[in-house]
Amino acid sequence: MDKLRIMSVFGTRPEAIKMAPLVKELSTREDIESICCVTAQHRQMLDSVLEVFDLKPDWDLDIMTPRQTLSTITSKCLTGMDEAIDTLKPNLILVHGDTSTTFAGALSAFYHQVPVGHVEAGLRTYDKYSPFPEEMNRKLVSAIADLYFCPTINNKNNLLREGITQGLFVTGNTVIDALKTTVREDYHFATEELNHLPYGEKKILLVTCHRRENYGEPMKQIMLALRQIAQEHEDVELVYPVHLSPVVREAVDTYLRGAPRTHLIDPLPADEMHNLMARSYLVLTDSRGLQEEAPALGKPVLVLRRETERPEAVEAGTVRLAGVDQKTIVEMASSLIDSPEAYAEMAHAVNPYGDGHACRRIADAIEWYFGRRQERPADYTGK
Ligand code: UD1
């Protein structure tokens, strides 16, 4: 029997971190040829992940431009994918999450009548414009996909409620698989500055903020809140790896640069980020992946958004929504910085997002779908 050609498509940093362990797992299977196609919606930030996980793309669309719009990303991906699919002839295309790459990858697969597996399926806020455009991207991909790899049972239930009943698997999130390979106690940072932070003496606050729906006034409020937190708490050091988006960089330069004990650094490779998080006191972020990684490391998270599609860690008590209002963010952060009781209540390790075996379950499910394996893989139960 011919090998199954499974093509993983991704283009941004978080997709790459979460797809890397899956591409690797697939390449260990005897009956699978694991192919990797990157759109490079992110160039530098994607390349840094490829390097950390030692991945060599078979196809690179190289679409990124400065201040790219959603339409240019989508149309360039669609056009580029035509040739990739015609040449590589995959039996299944895997897309991840909810970016423009994800949507265009799934749509392109559909145009070529190639089945689609959606990794990290079933997340929802039910607010069409938040996160923007991701909520719509993932809904549109749900309409196209044939296989749904849901991180949690909650995600599967979202799809069931939408009438999607076939091809559902609960696998855990592949980010937990990735985390298991990167975090080490004796880790030495390649970013020299990070080896000299006063871990233990000061409370390290790890910050990220880049989301499109936060552009403008919300981002201003967040930056001013961070500045105030740094000014009012002498026992904290802020570390903020700043996204390469020019819009984000402008906001940081205008409202935050120059705040005391604040380290504005370039985006970090995935392994550096994971290890920095493991040594931090608190995470303030509008990123989605960090909301999954930090709870597994026992780090409290304040989410700089109005809503989240990841309620599991909120329910487990390690993540709280802080919103995008300066006053509320400062109050919530100050309470966690000043009150050991409030901190202890949030700082316990929970793993609602996976047990580190998501990739094995996904690869098994693919083999089962194509009749190469007899047993359907058992769902991840969260225990
Ligand atoms: C994209 C995803 C978002 C994901 C985020 C992670 C969409 C619609 N959004 O948002 O879901 O959470 O990635 O970062 O797909 N840039 C560089 N170098 C890089 C990366 C980006 O210069 O390595 C610049 C680009 O020129 C671009 C800007 O940053 O203009 C924003 O990137 P883009 O992919 O358009 O959106 P993100 O906000 O990163």
pLDDT tens digits for 220-262?
Answer: 999 999 999 999 999 999 999 999 999 999 999 999 999 999 9
In sign, the C-alpha dihedral spanning 337, 338, 340, 346 is negative
Specify whether 94 is located in the same domain as 208.
Answer: no
192: which residues sit within 8 A by CB, 6+ positions away?
Answer: none
Strands (DSSP E) contained in 19-135 are: 32-38, 59-60, 92-96, 116-119
Q: Is the pLDDT of residue 17 over 90?
A: yes
Identify whether 181 is part of a domain: no
Distance CA 110, CA 247 (A): 33
Query: Would strands 4-10 and 32-38 be described as parallel, antiparallel, or unpaired?
Result: parallel
Specify whether 298 is located in the same domain as 218.
Answer: yes
Distance CA 319, CA 289 (A): 13
Identify whether 222 is part of a domain: yes
Q: What is the CATH number of the domain that holds 359?
A: 3.40.50.2000
Identify whether 149 is part of a domain: yes
Specify whether 148 is located in the same domain as 281.
Answer: no
Q: How many CA atoms lie within 13 A of 15 on its CB side?
A: 30
- Residue 98 annotated in active site: yes
Identify whether 377 is part of a domain: no
Specify whether 246 is located in the same domain as 141.
Answer: no
Q: What is the pLDDT of residue 350?
A: 84
Q: Is the pLDDT of residue 32 over 70?
A: yes
Specify whether 343 is located in the same domain as 362.
Answer: no
Identify whether 41 is part of a domain: yes
Specify whether 295 is located in the same domain as 216.
Answer: yes
DSSP result, 204-257: EEEEE---GGGTTHHHHHHHHHHHHHHHH-TTEEEEEE--S-HHHHHHHHHHTT
pLDDT confidence band for 382 (50 / 70 / 90): confident
Pocket test for ligand 1, best of 19, 71, 132, 245 (most atoms within 8 A of CB): 245
- Residue 357 annotated in active site: no
Identify whether 179 is part of a domain: no
200: which residues sit within 8 A by CB, 6+ positions away?
Answer: none
Residues in a beta bridge with 264: 240
Specify whether 115 is located in the same domain as 132.
Answer: yes
Q: Look up residue 188 and give its two tokens.
A: 């030495």
Distance CA 117, CA 358 (A): 14
Pocket test for ligand 1, best of 17, 41, 76, 219 (most atoms within 8 A of CB): 41
Specify whether 234 is located in the same domain as 340.
Answer: yes
Residues 145-175 pLDDT 10s: 999 999 999 999 999 999 999 999 999 999 9
| Phi, psi (deg, nearest 5) at residue 169 | -135, 140
- Residue 120 annotated in active site: yes
Q: What is the pLDDT of residue 383?
A: 65
Q: How many CA atoms lie within 13 A of 361 on its CB side?
A: 26
Average pLDDT value over all residues in the chain: 96
* % of the chain surpassing 90 pLDDT: 97
Identify whether 199 is part of a domain: yes
pLDDT average, residue stretch 170-189: 95
Specify whether 146 is located in the same domain as 197.
Answer: no
Stated as kind and residue range, the H or E segment containing 5 is strand 4-10
Identify whether 316 is part of a domain: yes
308 close to 125: Cβ distance less than 8 angstroms = yes
pLDDT confidence band for 353 (50 / 70 / 90): very high
Full residue range of the structural domain in which residue 219 is found = 192-347
pTM: 0.95
| Phi, psi (deg, nearest 5) at residue 348 | -135, 145
Q: What is the pLDDT of residue 125?
A: 96
Specify whether 160 is located in the same domain as 202.
Answer: no
Instruction: Give the ligand 1 atom nearest the CA of 131.
Output: 11
Report how many domains make up the chain: 2
- Three-class SS of residue 204? strand
Specify whether 83 is located in the same domain as 99.
Answer: yes
Specify whether 92 is located in the same domain as 229.
Answer: no
pLDDT average, residue stretch 207-221: 97
